[in-house]
A and B are shown apart, each in its own frame.
Chain A
Amino acid sequence: MSDSKYFTTTKKGEMAELKADLQSDKKERKKEAIKKIIANMTVGKDVSSLFADVVNCMQTDNLELKKLVYLYLMNYAKSQPDLAILAVNTFSKDCEDPNPLIRALAVRTMGCIRVDKITEYLCEPLRKCLKDDDPYVRKTAAVCVAKLHDINAQLVEDQGFLDLLKDLLSDSTPMVVANTVAALAEIGEVSSTATALTDLDTSTINKLLTALNECTEWGQVFILDSLAGYEPKDDKEAQSICERVTPRLAHANAAVVLSAVKVLMKFMELLPGDSAYLTSLVKKLAAPLVTLLSAEPEIQFVALRNINLIVQKRSDILKEDIKVFYVKYNDPIYVKLEKLDIMIRLANSTNIANVLAELKEYSTEVDVDFVRKAVRAIGRCAIKVESAAERCVGTLVDLIQTKVTYVVQEAVIVIKDIFRKYPNQYESIIATLCENLDSLDEPEARASMIWILGEYCDRIDSVDELLTTFLDSFADENSQVQLQLLTAIVKLFLKRPADTQQLVQSVLSLATQESDNPDLRDRGYIYWRLLSTDPAAAKDVVLAEKPTISEETDLLEPALLDELICQISTLASVYHKPPSAFVEGKVPTPTSNKLINQANNTTSAAESTEEPVEDGVAAPPQEQAAVIPSAVEDSLIGDLLSMDLPSTSYNAPPASAGDGLGELDLLGDLSGLQIGGGYGGGMIGGQTGVGGIFGGTGLPGMGGGMGGGGGGGGGGIDLFGGLGGQGPNPGIMFQGGPISLPKQEWLPAARGKGMEILGTFVRRGGQIYADMTFNNKAMQMMADFAIQFNKNSFGLAPGPLAVNSPLMPNSTASTLLPITPGGLVMKMTPLTQLQVAIKNNVDVFYFSVNMPTHVLFSEDGAMDRKVFLATWKEIPQSNEVQASVDNVSLTPDQVQQKLETNNVFLIARRQVDVGGLNQELMYMSLKFINNIWVLIEVKAAPGSTTVGLALKTSAMDVIPGVLEAFKSILHA
């Protein structure tokens, strides 16, 4: 019986013929027709028009025919959802069939049909099948839950399938358990709500470990992969799991072995580093890994990619086995290339002689990529194993003599690296290199050669001629080569200025005038300016000693490596990329190991600290959104904001006195500027002038006060200061007096180049203070601290900043910074935002903080009773805000007390009877330091936890802040 005839090309009218066959009574003809249809479907022909007729054949007792119809259905149901419903009936019937194979087939197929109507009908049969007597049906149903979850996750969760699935973990048949594990893992990966349900606990782990011994090889892989995601409680549990997983290393299936290796590698991290068990475990890993290399080449490839990770993590595992990574002549190229990588990783001073002999052999092979990699490997050996450097260089020179162009080019590239690592040791080979100049046609090789010429130009006689020949074709060169040529000629000029002036001039003009590559132009200009202004400095810069290169340049980042170790055997480990890099919509996996998380944190912190250091010239982009522009150069910033400098009567605060404070001054200047001189710096006046809102703040009847304030800002300040002293005496009933909020991180160390600032605001004795803690987390001491604020809503300005200076590394200093009003005013959003610049000897840092509103309530906020009444009436109803604070466990007296301690003053208090409840009504007032009044009606009832508030003010902008303040006061 041959089926290949179904693949023959279709004739015209075939569809009609097939249709007729499908409708025929003869089973054989039907079957033939369906086979033909499936063949057509396979080659990509559209046979969906026959849908209805195919579905009609579904009702059959012939299992083979049924399977073919189901196959067709899975393919086309989505395109014909309406017709697909015709199949539901048969499916439901099949789910009740006495034959378990048919029951399973029906459930399996239904799960693959992504049509809502069908899915609806799937739930009931699925529920039954999950509890079926037959294990074959149960194992199919378990996978079906994962299918359904992919179609409609909500449905699965609502219908309680996840719980049913979890129950299956205790099933008596290992294969059911294995499929359940796989399904749970898949569901847990995509759905965060399900993750909690699918998390493994100790008892499940034990069940899984038992099932591990009994289920199929594939089931073992599912279970091991799930185990790898488990977090053992302690090292004992980790060890006991390891002990039960270790026997899997002898399995014939490479996937089982690799998954077991994954579990072991991961849990090893949790074992104490000095335990004997760990040592023996490490030894046990080597042999199975090596054995993987006798598997099929594709599996070897996966194994090698993983071994590459493993030796990076634990280089001791395979240190004795370098020989097994020697390349075999009939290895596929992908295996050869991977083996080379591992050989280099394992090379050390004891085995280098053999490795080198091998590599030399490889460099005469046929495959160009392989040869190149082998040559490069020789160079890497030289850099890695210092004792062998000379031999490696000798080998490379031999290779150059072969005159095979790609070998020569590759050799030149690695010799450049060798020169970087061992400067001034192997110049003798430069002559050989120069002989082969002509054969270099790849940019990287040419650039490397030119670098060598420039670096050693004082030892090569005819170097100017050589460079001149390169210069002739300057325009045609790759930019990499052009850059190197520019640098090399400048080096030459600095060493031999007498006879190379012509050369340097022509290269500089070529670079700056003829090129449209900005990198090249920039470098050209920098050299030009350096040379013309200060040749000595140019020498220091250009001929400076270069840092030697590190030996392992291609190591993966530790954080990534740790993540990949947890992904051993998966695609991520093959690509050496995190899964999120190649999987769509991948939720970043919670990287299991705590260790790993820590590692991640430290790296990211380290990275971000380094980030802004370098750019000295260009203005760094504004990193802090909505904060002060990071100023570097006065004029630059001035230009940016198109403002004139400086302005009016603003006095730089004492803190900013001292050297290098240009930036801080600037802030002052800027703010001063916008205010303009006309207001004389008076805070209240300024405020009226500037902010639209503030302009209208003056309460009727308060005009006098405002005017007075406007008269002399300074006086106003003094007044507040004086009043502060007479403020309500805090701390009688409530410890702590005016509330102070816990310190928050204002400037993280990562952004402050190691300077971390924590802080909060407090009001004491009528004065606002910023209570700050400076932590020096950098490696160097810090000194010369100074602070400045940007213009802000309340015209706050900092007093002198007293920090113990210098601040040594890893030490902490606390300071109380007095803050006074009287600075320049600009409305901020939110109102209480304060933009701060702090300077130390390292840099200037900008950040913004939100002040708690209550520190802005002034001590003279008690309004005269009559004025209060009048004001209350005059403020329109639209300016009244009702609010309430919940969960206040205070008596009305305590409420009053608490509020008064925080400068909200009682004007009048009365009791009212509302529906039999005694309510206390308190009329209170408060005044912001910039003379905005807020009138408050506080409703409190003994026994009630809710405090009602009615606020009236003409400056509605302050309301949210006041409410926030009330909340924190009453909850304090």
Chain B
Amino acid sequence: MIGGVFIYNHKGEVMVSRVYRDNITRTTVDAFKVSVIHARQAVRSPVTIIARTSYFHTRQGSVWIVACTKQNVNAALVFEVLNKMVQVLEQYFGSITEESVKNNFVLIYELLDEILDYGYPQKTDSGILKTYITQQGVRSQSTEEQKQITSQVTGQIGWRREGIKYRRNELFLDVLESVNLLMSPQGQALSAHVSGRVVMKSYLSGMPECKFGMNDKLVIDKQAKPSTPEAQNLESQLSKRQGGGVNRSVAIDDCTFHQCVKLSKFESERSISFIPPDGEFELMRYRTTKDITLPFRVIPLVRLSTQNHVEIKVTLKSLFKAALTAQKVEVRIPIPPNTSGVKIITLRGKAKYKTGENTIVWRLRNMQGQRQSELTAEVELLPTTDTSKTKQTARVPISMNFEVT
């Protein structure tokens, strides 16, 4: 399993080094610094092998978080552990920076001791970890409390502690969707998919068993038939009810669930039941590719009028029903990095040129369905000596955000 976990700053100095296995030495730690962090060419893979030691790394800003091993370990597991580790640390002391790591290194050592044992991941739920590892030193605990902690850490419901009480029991649910669209220059959608997340905030007392239902329009995983007869029956009923000629169902290609959801129950009965962790968590993710109706259409028009002058015209059309309104609409239009000045004219909303990000950000407070709006911008470019270079910059697509309530 994992032989050691290291945290480096951008200079390659080790800030935290926790070795779990004997075959990882100081040289192992330095080898990564020399071959990857200080390498002249940026690394091209998150997995690097140096002298038969494999390194897995992920970056948080300028901080490198690295796990290394000499065995044939489960690579997906290592990256998941690193990601979870990052989440735990963030929940303990906010974002991970050189400063915050150095400020909390004792805490990090303590956490690493609990998260991994001999390189095997043990506990990565910050909710539970916080019950016995705190920043304020160790609270005095009675024997009873200690027992409770250990049984909870190892128990089946490792993500929730017992004895939570709220005066008011509340549950919030957010559905966040992102539509990914790839469009050819001719305006043809090459690929489109929606990935959605259901985020839940629960403030419930005790050990509540929750069930999450979706309406009949939702069909998960059409191709794969559920294995039990009851579930097949259920599904056929569903499809009968939908059978009104018009296909109004929303087909979900696939979904994944937080570990609190009982997967075997989902597989057999298609019901999502769970005991939620306390606070905010991501209950499920889903993905769909079929019948995506685009809420907006963005039509860009770019004209290179002279060598150093570009005209950009962006038309935004809302395609949804006129009765609905989109709020906080934000369109981000990338422009070349060698821009010297921008003149923007908009009919509605406000637009601003953000120098640092090389983008024009166009904000509309709200937009009704079936409307159209337009932005034109004249971009002055700094003359460059190498004309081929202007062509060669990475072409960032236009992106937009909005909310529907």
Contacts and interface: CB of A to CB of B under 8 A. Distances in A.
Interface of A: 1-4, 6-7, 35, 38-39, 42-44, 62-64, 67-68, 71, 74-75, 98-101, 104, 108, 111-112, 114, 134-137, 139-140, 143-144, 146-147, 150, 173-176, 179, 182, 186, 213-218, 221-222, 225, 243-244, 246-248, 250-255, 257-259, 280, 283-284, 287-288, 290-291, 294, 296-299, 301-303, 323-324, 326, 328-330, 332-334, 337, 354, 357-358, 365-366, 369, 404, 567, 569-575, 579, 582-584, 586
Scoring A140, A215, A217, A358 by chain B CB atoms within 10 A of each residue's CB, the highest score goes to A217
Contacts of A358: 190
Contact of B52 (A4, A140, A288, A583): A583
B22 A44 contact: no
Given A252-B257, A299-B79, A64 B14 contact: no
Contact of A218 (B52, B121, B284): B121
Interface in B34-81: 44-47, 49, 52, 54, 56, 58, 69-77, 79-81
Given A136-B154, A146-B118, A569 B254 contact: no
Contacts of A298: 46, 56, 58, 79, 82-83
Nearest to A337: B44
Given A67-B109, A218-B121, A186 B1 contact: yes
Given A216-B158, A301-B46, A333-B44, 13 more contacts: A35-B106, A42-B16, A100-B150, A174-B154, A218-B124, A222-B120, A247-B266, A251-B259, A251-B263, A287-B287, A366-B392, A571-B54, A571-B75
A175 B158 contact: yes
Given A38-B106, A42-B15, A218-B120, A175 B76 contact: no
A101 B103 contact: no
A574 B47 contact: yes
Nearest to B46: A298
Scoring B56, B113, B120 by chain A CB atoms within 10 A of each residue's CB, the highest score goes to B120
A3 B79 CA distance: 28
Contact of B110 (A64, A139, A217, A570): A64
A224 to B, nearest CB: 9
A147 B82 CA distance: 22
Scoring A243, A280, A302, A334 by chain B CB atoms within 10 A of each residue's CB, the highest score goes to A302
A218 to B, nearest CB: 4
Contacts of B82: 298
A358 B137 CA distance: 56
A280 B76 contact: no
Given A214-B156, A294-B195, A4 B99 contact: yes
B147 A246 contact: no
13 contacts: A71-B113, A100-B146, A146-B118, A174-B154, A175-B153, A175-B158, A182-B120, A290-B253, A298-B58, A326-B191, A567-B72, A582-B49, A584-B52
A221 B254 contact: no
Contact of A216 (B75, B109, B259): B259
User: Interface residues of B: mostly helix, strand, loop or mixed?
Assistant: mixed
A296 B394 contact: no
Interface string B90-128: 000000000100111110011001000110111110000
B73 A570 contact: yes
B187 interface: no
B76 A258 contact: yes
Contact of A213 (B13, B69, B264, B393): B264
Scoring B54, B99, B102 by chain A CB atoms within 10 A of each residue's CB, the highest score goes to B102
B221 A569 contact: no
Contact of A572 (B14, B72, B151, B262): B72
A1 B113 CA distance: 21
Contacts of B303: none
Contacts of B109: 38, 67-68, 71
A48 to B, nearest CB: 13
B26 interface: yes
A287 B253 contact: yes
Contacts of B282: 252
A329 B394 contact: yes
Given A247-B264, A290-B253, A296 B259 contact: no
A284 B224 contact: yes
Interface in B129-146: 132, 135, 137-138, 141, 143, 146
Given A250-B263, A583-B52, A143 B147 contact: no
Interface in B212-270: 221, 223-225, 227, 253-259, 262-264, 266-267
Given A64-B110, A150-B22, A329 B287 contact: no
Given A67-B110, A288-B256, A324-B191, A571 B14 contact: no
A39 B54 CA distance: 26
A255 B256 contact: no
A11 to B, nearest CB: 18
A347 B357 CA distance: 37
B259 A253 contact: yes
User: Interface residues of A: mostly helix, strand, loop or mixed?
Assistant: helix
B70 A583 contact: yes
A380 B29 CA distance: 41
A42 B132 contact: no
A73 to B, nearest CB: 13
Contacts of B72: 567, 570-572, 579, 582-583, 586
A290 B254 contact: yes
B154 A173 contact: yes
Contacts of A221: 74, 77
Given A137-B150, A326-B190, A255 B223 contact: no
Contacts of A137: 150
A2 B103 contact: yes
A301 B118 contact: no
Contacts of A222: 120
Contacts of A366: 392-394
A4 B255 contact: no
A122 to B, nearest CB: 14
A255 B52 contact: no
A114 B388 CA distance: 61
Nearest to A135: B154
Contacts of A252: 256-259, 282, 284-285
Given A98-B143, A298-B58, A584-B52, A574 B75 contact: yes
B17 interface: yes
Given A143-B120, A251-B259, A302 B75 contact: yes
A86 B195 CA distance: 58
B184 interface: yes
Contacts of B75: 302, 569-571, 573-574
A44 B74 CA distance: 29
Nearest to B267: A247
A186 B58 CA distance: 26
Given A253-B259, A567-B72, A44 B26 contact: yes
B193 interface: yes
Contacts of A569: 74-77
B57 to A, nearest CB: 8
A137 B149 CA distance: 12
B397 interface: yes
B227 A243 contact: yes
B80 A299 contact: yes
A101 B257 contact: no
Nearest to B15: A42
A294 B263 contact: no
A414 B19 CA distance: 47
Nearest to A306: B76
B176 to A, nearest CB: 13
Nearest to A301: B46
A387 to B, nearest CB: 21
A328 B264 contact: no
